[in-house]
Chain A
Amino acid sequence: DAKTTQPPSMDCAEGRAANLPCNHSTISGNEYVYWYRQIHSQGPQYIIHGLKNNETNEMASLIITEDRKSSTLILPHATLRDTAVYYCIVRVATSYDKVIFGPGTSLSVIP
């Protein structure tokens, strides 16, 4: 079973920030938080990951709470192309730790 819970769907106005929450209350000390997204009929695309510090890259920012039990993915200026299913995943950062996908959050960016 997935170790995370996410809202099933969210809407966001184009140009506004999209804030996608994720709960991972049973996360272990050596587990990272990863975010992927999947645009319809394509393979999952890696977005960002972090252990305990906030992270930012060209796609998004990841905010992890101090107790590490939840996190938020922030898309600073959502576009229509950001419409996708977003998966929050917790895993140990070793090559043999498989990815367990939950249902994810279906984000719709509205014009």
Chain B
Amino acid sequence: DAGVTQSPTHLIKTRGQQVTLRCSPKSGHDTVSWYQQALGQGPQFIFQYYEEEERQRGNFPDRFSGHQFPNYSSELNVNALLLGDSALYLCASSLPTSGNTIYFGEGSWLTVV
């Protein structure tokens, strides 16, 4: 059973560009969340998708957007990249059952230059 998989693992973008990160949830999981982790800090919640809709959102600007597909996979898009967007982007998935556990992927390292 594959866990949460993310791609790409590393990428470098130029300030002002746009980036798309991809996530495949753990088998059977229908809820996907995205987190941003700057160097030396804990992960910060960006948003969560369920049934192809954004269900809740953290304190991130509209430059951050996402999408969830019918197979539950998800994309995170960031427009107009800033140097401060350089971070590890984590995808997490879960099931809506009692005591459910959230599982994280290994992340995508984004460097903005």
- Using a CB–CB cutoff of 8 Å, the interface residues on chain A facing chain B are 32, 34, 36, 41-46, 49, 51, 87, 93-96, 98-104
**B96 contacts A by Cβ under 8 Å:** yes
Residues 61 to 113 of chain B near chain A (Cβ within 8 Å): 88, 90, 92, 94-107, 109
In the complex, are the beta carbons of A96 and B42 less than 8 A apart?
A: no
CB-CB under 8 A for A42 and B103, given A96-B31, A102-B42: no
- Closest Cβ neighbor of A102 among chain B residues: B42
Complex Cα distance, B87 from A43, in Å, reads 12
In the complex, are the beta carbons of B102 and A43 less than 8 A apart?
A: no
CB distance from B49 to the nearest CB of A (A): 11
- Closest Cβ neighbor of A34 among chain B residues: B101
Complex Cα distance, B106 from A41, in Å, reads 8
CB-CB under 8 A for A87 and B42, given A95-B50, A98-B48, A99-B92: yes
- Using a CB–CB cutoff of 8 Å, the interface residues on chain B facing chain A are 4, 30-31, 33, 35, 42-45, 48, 50, 55-56, 58, 88, 90, 92, 94-107, 109
Q: Report chain A residues within 8 Å CB of B105.
A: 43
Q: Report chain A residues within 8 Å CB of B88.
A: 41
In the complex, are the beta carbons of B42 and A104 less than 8 A apart?
A: yes
- Closest Cβ neighbor of B92 among chain A residues: A99
In the complex, are the beta carbons of B56 and A96 less than 8 A apart?
A: yes
Q: What are some 23 contacts across the A-B interface (CB < 8 A)?
A: A32-B99, A34-B101, A36-B104, A41-B88, A41-B109, A43-B90, A43-B104, A44-B43, A44-B104, A45-B104, A46-B104, A87-B42, A93-B98, A93-B99, A94-B96, A94-B100, A95-B30, A98-B33, A98-B56, A98-B58, A99-B33, A99-B45, A103-B42
Q: Report chain A residues within 8 Å CB of B100.
A: 93-95
CB distance from A59 to the nearest CB of B (A): 13
